[in-house]
Each structure stands twice: as C-alpha cells, then as structure tokens.
Amino acid sequence: MSTPCPEARRRAALLDVAVVGGGMVGAAAALALARAGFATALLEAREPAPWRREEEVDLRVVGLAPSSVALLEALEAWAPIRDSRAAAYARMHVWDAQSGAAIDFDAAAEGRAWLGWIVENNLVQWTLWRALERAGVQRLCPAQVTGFQAHGDRIDLELDGGAASLSARLLVAADGAGSPLRRLAGLDTHGRDYGQRAVVAHVATERPHESTAWQRFLPGGPLALLPLADGRSSIVWSLPEAEARRVLALDDAAFCAELGVASDFRLGCVQATTRRAAFPLKLQLADRYQAERLVLLGDAAHTVHPLAGQGVNLGLRDVAELRDTLAAARAAGRDIAAAHVLRRYARRRRSADTLDAWSFDALGRIYAWQAPPLVAARALGVRLADRLDPLKRRIVAHAAGR
C-alpha cells in the first residue's frame, strides 16, 4: 500500500488509541479496539508479506487455544484463517525420554471436539492486517516511533523523519520482545536466557500424525511434533546453542535420521524435511506493564519458553483484557488511559502472565533433571497426574484460557 504523506498523518492526530507493532498480537489489538468503537491507528515499520495458499507452509506456526479462537471469531477473522489452512488437534501425548512416563490429554474427555489449532503465523497476521481497513483502523506503514511525550489528556508520538507526529489518548506497545517503546518508557525486564535455540522445520513421516500434538522431553530440551493441515508435522526442537548449530548444519538425510531417533520413531521414520531455521529462547517479563498513558502487550510484556505453546495465546489474552478494560472505563465515563484504569489491566495480566511464565520455566527445569532419584520422582509424578482426571481437566481448562 502507499505511504501516507505527513499531512495525512497529521489529520489522524486525535485518536483514542495508537498501537505500535503489526504482528499477530498488535494487529489483533488494533482490530479489537476499533471494533469496540475506539478511534485506532496501527503503526508498523513493514507491511507483512501476503499469505498465499500456493506457497510453502510458513516455518513459524502457532498453536491457538480456544480462548484465542474465540477472540478471532469475535473479530470475524477466524473463519478465513480456518478455511485457508489450519489443522485442529484433538489429543496431546507428552512423554519423558528418560523414564518413559507419559501423560495424555484428549478433547473428547472434556466433551469438546478439539484442544487447539495449529496455524501459520503469517496466515494469522495477514488475515488480521487485511481486516484492519474494513474496521476503520488507520494503518500507517512504514512508520516508526522515535519518541513520545505524555501531556495531561494525551500522548504525543514523534514519527521517523521528524516531519510528522500523532496524538492519542493511549499508546499501546506491541513492538516485540526487544520493544523500543518499552525502553523509551523506562520499563525494565527480568528473566533468563535459556542458552537454547528452537529448531523448526516441517517434516513428512512414515505414519500419520493422528491429529495429535506429540511432545517428548529429552535431556537437552523438549521436541514437539505438531499436526499440519497437509498431513505433515511441524517440529519445534529445543536444543542447546551448540547442538542447534550442529543439527542445522546436517544434510536432510542425516537430520531426518536424528529427528527419528529423538522422536522415538513415534510417527515412524522421518522421510523428508523442509529447510530449517532456529530462534533463540529466553524468559523475559517486564517489571511493569504500564507507564503514563502507555501499556505493554504481547512479547513487549512477556516472552516464554515454547514448551507449552502458549506465547501468542498469552498475548491474545492481553488483547481481550485491554479491550474489556477500556470499554468498561468508557462506559463509566472515565478517561480510558487514566492511571487507575491502566493499572487494572496491568495488574490482571501481569499476574496471570507471571504465573504462566514461571510455571513453564519450572516444568522445563523439572524435565532437565538427570539424576536417577530425581528422574524416578518425576516419573512417579507424571504417572500419578495421568490418572487424576480432575487435575488433567484443570490443566486443559487453563491452557484453553478458561
């Protein structure tokens, strides 16, 4: 699309909300707020690449929980995603490489048809991006925020080039884990680097994936095989840095052979693979989710280990919470960006995100135990959990966002 001229940007000056970052979470936030009746702009440095059915499946996929699908349905974005290329999974099987202890989750046991959906990141982002204009969202792209200043009832944004500015009642930072806006706002983070990379690829296997998400915990990190709509599986293989580099350098035949061993040949031999990529893994939580007339959303607020597949789902829960908080403030005649309003959003989401992030971290640490007595204790706990249906129902409900 064409770039709006500075004059056009100035005409968009008085907004309710300016969202910075057009990834899945940022685009969903802009769309949700616009559909809730807020005058909204989305600023993004680069327009997303169009999703095309004839192209190879994106290496980055997300497991959408029921809460995320419900939000996308409310935004009228789920049907085109589902009908384009999405794979429902009804079961999850998780097992320990060292002890063999396993736990199974089945949607049928909960009276549901599925546990979640595996969807390409760029399909979700592109679908949301196309819906923005129809919802009345002003898309400013390319655009980058170089600074901002809060003034009583508004926050003024300085845009790249110095020739344009924008004002809104609220600034939403959805600009990723390295968030420049978070840094400009003086919001610190804490967490830890896992010293791992997630190796991703799509593979063809001897046996079908059975609409099941498979996850094996290995000493070096978890390996997930996620069902794709075309019958293949998407892998997310968490490995120490040096091991990830070695695996990436293997030729296809050697990679498939090693992956077969790592997956315990659960789906038979691995017959073919796409190109591979790897992404660094870390735990990062913002100390605060708000500053004056500014809130953090998605990866700008939290990044978590992918072992539970909840990163994007947490971000979309941020979106739903922010929409509902702002709508309630407006209905009560309050300033939507008043400090006490933003504190309500920040308190609820930071509490939930922190609990989830450190729970995933603890799970990873437990599965990293290698001493025989600790492995035996872990196996006993897993086997006991698999027999406790109320506990499993609670785990499934939490993952679903209920």
- The tens-digit pLDDT sequence of the chain (402 residues) is 334 433 334 444 589 999 999 999 999 999 999 999 999 999 999 999 999 999 999 999 999 999 999 999 999 999 999 999 999 999 999 999 989 999 999 998 878 899 999 999 999 999 999 999 899 999 998 999 999 999 889 999 999 876 567 999 999 999 999 999 999 999 999 999 999 999 999 999 999 999 999 999 999 999 999 999 999 999 999 999 999 999 999 999 999 999 999 999 999 999 999 999 999 999 999 999 999 999 999 999 999 988 766 889 999 999 999 999 999 999 999 999 999 999 999 999 999 999 888 888 888 888 888 898 998 998 898 888 888 888 877 878 777 766
C-alpha 228/C-alpha 242 separation (Å) is 28
Give the span between the Cα atoms of 51 and 73, in whole angstroms: 19
Exposed, middle or buried by CB within 10 Å (0-12, 13-18, 19+), for 351?
exposed
pLDDT at 390: 83
Hey, is 75 helix, strand or coil? coil
Rounded to whole angstroms, how far apart are CA atoms 29 and 85? 23
User: What residues does each domain of the chain span?
Assistant: 6-365
Q: Which residues pair with 223 in a beta bridge?
A: 216, 237
Neighbours of 353 (CB within 10 A): 21
One-letter identity of residue 52:
R
pTM for the full predicted model: 0.91
What is the crossing angle of helices 372-387 and 389-399, to 10°? 90
The pLDDT score that the predictor gives to residue 351 is 92
Cβ-Cβ contacts under 8 Å for 180 (sequence gap 6 or more): 145
SS3 (DSSP) at 244 = helix
CATH architecture, domain 6-365: 3-Layer(bba) Sandwich (3.50)
C-alpha distances in Å from residue 46, one per residue of 61, 119, 130, 154: 20, 22, 14, 26
Whole-number pLDDT of residue 387: 85
Residue 308: predicted pLDDT: 65
Burial class (CB in 10 A: 0-12, 13-18, 19+), 51: buried
Which pLDDT score is estimated for 2?
35
**Residue that has been written with the tokens 């993004």 in this structure:** 44
Task: Report the pLDDT value the prediction gives residue 229, as an integer from 0 to 100.
Answer: 95
